[in-house]
Structure 1
Amino acid sequence: MSRRAAAGPWLALAAVLLLGGAALYQLTAGLSAWTLDQRRETRIARQTLRLPALDVRNQHGRPLRLFGAGGAAGPGPAVHIVDFIYTRCPTVCRALGAEFAQLSRQVEADGMAGRIGLVSLSFDPRDTVGDLLGYAGTYQARAPGWQVAAAAPDAMADLLHQAEVIAIADGLGGFEHNGGLHVVDAGGRVLSVHPLEDFQQAYAAALAHARGARP
């Protein structure tokens, strides 16, 4: 057997190990995170977690582009507070709606309308414009300050994947999903994520960014 033939299996193994190592490095955010939550936290801390530009329709059926320049929505707010909902949700989404209603009033009281925007994104392909309008009506969500919106299923699935947001059908017509509040700049960069109960911290983070960002 020639030396070249003998070396063949070892070269193939080295290539596999190299590719596997590269994949592991990427999946663990540079070997610094070993769970999905840790990886997501690492990406947020490094400000490498982004929401892609997303074409949606809001509660009035108006087309908008979120998290990207040059969309139908115009320049838009300097920062958004974003949550992920579905209108049939009987638990988490109701709590989020109540919190966003309070935040909406706070944005107005602080004179930050137009600088801080609220976005509730439905990931349920069953949600129609009428469903979005019904959810908006329940919590007095008024556009453009608070957009209740949905995108095409493929586009929403891509955003959930890129943002590492979990929404899993529970087999009973609903979803298991997290209730995090995402503070996102105008370009889609996720600045911070806050648990449901820490919505005031999410607002404080958005307020600090909006006041520091250029108009």
Structure 2
Amino acid sequence: METTISPNSPNQPIKGDLRQRDFRQGDLTRTLALVACMAVVAGAALWQATMGFRVVATEDGRRLAVAEAPLALPRVALALPGATTVPLPVLLAGDPRPAIVTFFYARCNAVCSVQGTELQQMQREILARGLQDKLRLLTISFDPRDALDDLARYAARMRAEPAIWQFAAVPDAAQRQALLDQVGIIVLPAEMGEFQHNAAFHIVTPDGRLAQVVDYEQPEAALAAALELAQ
């Protein structure tokens, strides 16, 4: 028996429904194509910005770039307690040991305190392992208020051995900023005369090139990187 479907039967498609369905399918296709196109563009941009997806953060990208092509540090004049002003490249070239360079300000009670404690431990490790002829530490203040007496007192508080761990300031504001820019240290004024800033261990060769940047929470890695340069 042949079954006849009524025009009003719910099982029979209506032309208007077909057109609406075709429209929705076409709209979905166009949307998916647009999303795919945007994903390709975004992926290409991310590939370029992250050095082929090897890094995501800008800081990680800078550190990778430094490791692949060490940067020459600017010829800034350093003032050291108990010494005359000396250009940074001259200070570095006068000693065959690689330097682990850090930046701080004497009044800091946050990141600088943590890094200072790590540097103390690093100095003890250097002495315990007899590495004082292999590498050295150099801590530079970015606070124009830090006088040489302030640095000397800070060094005494840290029990810094002068033959291993030196402190310095950069008296000239323009030179100081040029050095901070080159090593990637960002310093922002904060309340109560404090500063907000990032921190890291900067591994520097005797010829004045920044060879590697290590996170300040990884002192063992910084020590290993400096020793590798000393070989």
Band of TM-score, shorter chain:
0.7 to 0.9
For structure 1, which runs of at least 5 residues remain unmatched after alignment? Answer: 1-27
1:55 maps to 77
- 1:78: how far off? 2.6
CA distance in 2, matches of 1:204, 1:57: 28
- 1:36: how far off? 3.6
Amino-acid identity (%): 31
CA distance in 2, matches of 1:96, 1:38: 20
Query: Cα distance 1:207–1:120, how it changes in 2: closer, same or farther (>3 A)?
Result: same
CA distance in 2, matches of 1:117, 1:162: 21
Name which one, 1 or 2, has greater alpha-carbon Rg: 2
Q: Which of 182, 192, 199 is matched with 2:219 structurally?
A: 199
- 1:180: how far off? 0.7
* TM-score of the pair, normalised by structure 1: 0.74
Instruction: Work out whether residues 99 and 136 of structure 2, in 8 Å CA contact, stay in contact via their aligned partners in 1.
Output: yes
Q: Which amino acid aligns with 2:178?
A: D
CA distance in 2, matches of 1:94, 1:50: 28
CA distance in 1, matches of 2:102, 2:92: 19
Range moving further from structure 2, 151-160 or 47-56: 47-56
SS class of match (1:127): coil
For structure 2, which runs of at least 5 residues remain unmatched after alignment? Answer: 1-48
2:170 is the alignment partner of 1:151: yes
Range moving further from structure 2, 127-136 or 186-195: 186-195
Q: Which amino acid aligns with 1:190?
A: L
Instruction: Work out whether residues 92 and 207 of structure 2, in 8 Å CA contact, stay in contact via their aligned partners in 1.
Output: no
CA distance in 1, matches of 2:83, 2:195: 24
1:5 maps to none
Range moving further from structure 2, 78-87 or 93-102: 93-102
Query: Cα distance 1:80–1:119, how it changes in 2: closer, same or farther (>3 A)?
Result: same
Corresponding pairs, count: 182
- 1:116: how far off? 0.5
Q: Deviations over 1:163-185 (max 9, x none)?
A: 22111111431111112111111
- 1:77: how far off? 3.6
Q: Which of 98, 108, 123 is matched with 1:104 structurally?
A: 123
Instruction: Work out whether residues 43 and 49 of structure 1, in 8 Å CA contact, stay in contact via their aligned partners in 2.
Output: no
Q: Deviations over 1:58-98 (max 9, x none)?
A: 233443333x2xx3676214311011100010111111111
Q: Which of 99, 107, 114 is matched with 1:80 structurally?
A: 99
1:208 maps to 228
Query: Cα distance 1:192–1:72, how it changes in 2: closer, same or farther (>3 A)?
Result: closer
CA distance in 2, matches of 1:160, 1:107: 27
Instruction: Work out whether residues 160 and 166 of structure 1, in 8 Å CA contact, stay in contact via their aligned partners in 2.
Output: yes
Q: Which amino acid aligns with 2:209?
A: R
